[in-house]
Structure 1
Amino acid sequence: MEDILRPIYQERASQANTLGVLMIEKRQKEMTVTDTFDSVMLIIVKEADKPVFIKHYTYTDKKAALHIITETQLKKWILLGTNKKIFEWLYNGRVIFDRNEYVSQLKSELKDFPVIQRKRKMGVEFAKLIRRYMDGKAFFENKHYLDAYNDVVHSLHHLARLAVIENGFHPEVTVWSQVKQIEPEIYKLYVELINSEEPLEKRLELLFLASEFLIHSKTKMSIQHISDILTEKDYWSFNDLIENEELFLVYSVDLGRLIEYLIEKHFIEVVEVETKSPKVYHRYYKVSKKD
Structure 2
Amino acid sequence: MDMLLRQLYQDQASKDHTCAIMVLKKDDSSFLSTDGFDAIILLISDEANELHSKHYEAMGKRVAFHTMSQDMMHHSLITGNQRRLIDWLVNGKIVYDRNEFMQDVKIRIDSFPPGDRSKKLTMQFAKLLRRFEEGKTLFNQGFVLDGFSNLFHALHHLARIAVIKDGFYPEVTVWEQVKKIEPEIHKLYQEALNSEEGLDKRIELLILALEVAIISKLELGTTHFLEVLRSIEGEASISDLLVIPEVQEYRIDLELVLNVLIEKGFVSIVKRETPAKAIFQTKYKINNFL
Task: Indicate if the aligned counterparts of 1:164 and 1:171 stay in contact, CA closer than 8 A.
Answer: yes
**In the alignment, which residue of structure 2 is the partner of 1:239?**
239
The alpha-carbon deviation at position 28 of structure 1 amounts to 7.2
**In the alignment, which residue of structure 2 is the partner of 1:226?**
225
- How far apart in 2 are the matches of 1:185 and 1:53? 41
- How far apart in 2 are the matches of 1:108 and 1:124? 22
**In the alignment, which residue of structure 2 is the partner of 1:25?**
25
**In the alignment, which residue of structure 1 is the partner of 2:34?**
34
> Which 4+ residue blocks in structure 1 deviate beyond 6 angstroms?
none
- How far apart in 2 are the matches of 1:256 and 1:20? 39
The alpha-carbon deviation at position 7 of structure 1 amounts to 2.7
What letter corresponds to residue 2 of structure 2 in structure 1?
A: E
Decide whether aligned partners of structure 1 residues 19 and 187 sit closer, same or farther in structure 2, where only a CA change above 3 A counts.
same
Q: How high is the sequence identity, in percent, across the aligned residues? A: 39
- How far apart in 1 are the matches of 2:10 and 2:242? 42
- How far apart in 2 are the matches of 1:195 and 1:290? 43
Per the alignment, in what secondary structure is the counterpart of residue 81 of structure 2?
A: coil
**In the alignment, which residue of structure 2 is the partner of 1:181?**
180
- How far apart in 1 are the matches of 2:147 and 2:65? 40
After superposition, where does 1:161-200 map in structure 2 within 5 Å?
161-200=160-199
Decide whether aligned partners of structure 1 residues 105 and 31 sit closer, same or farther in structure 2, where only a CA change above 3 A counts.
closer
Task: Indicate if the aligned counterparts of 1:270 and 1:285 stay in contact, CA closer than 8 A.
Answer: yes
The alpha-carbon deviation at position 264 of structure 1 amounts to 2.0
The alpha-carbon deviation at position 165 of structure 1 amounts to 0.2
**In the alignment, which residue of structure 2 is the partner of 1:54?**
53
**In the alignment, which residue of structure 1 is the partner of 2:158?**
159
**Normalised by the size of structure 1, how large is the TM-score?**
0.95
Per the alignment, in what secondary structure is the counterpart of residue 67 of structure 1?
A: strand
TM-superposition CA deviations, 1:194-217 (whole Å, max 9, x none): 111211111111111122112211
Unaligned runs of 5+ in 1: none
What letter corresponds to residue 57 of structure 1 in structure 2?
A: Y
**In the alignment, which residue of structure 1 is the partner of 2:267?**
268
- How far apart in 2 are the matches of 1:62 and 1:4? 9
- How far apart in 2 are the matches of 1:218 and 1:229? 18
Task: Indicate if the aligned counterparts of 2:222 and 2:257 stay in contact, CA closer than 8 A.
Answer: no
After superposition, where does 1:89-100 map in structure 2 within 5 Å?
89-100=88-99
The alpha-carbon deviation at position 9 of structure 1 amounts to 1.0
Q: CA RMSD in A?
A: 1.5
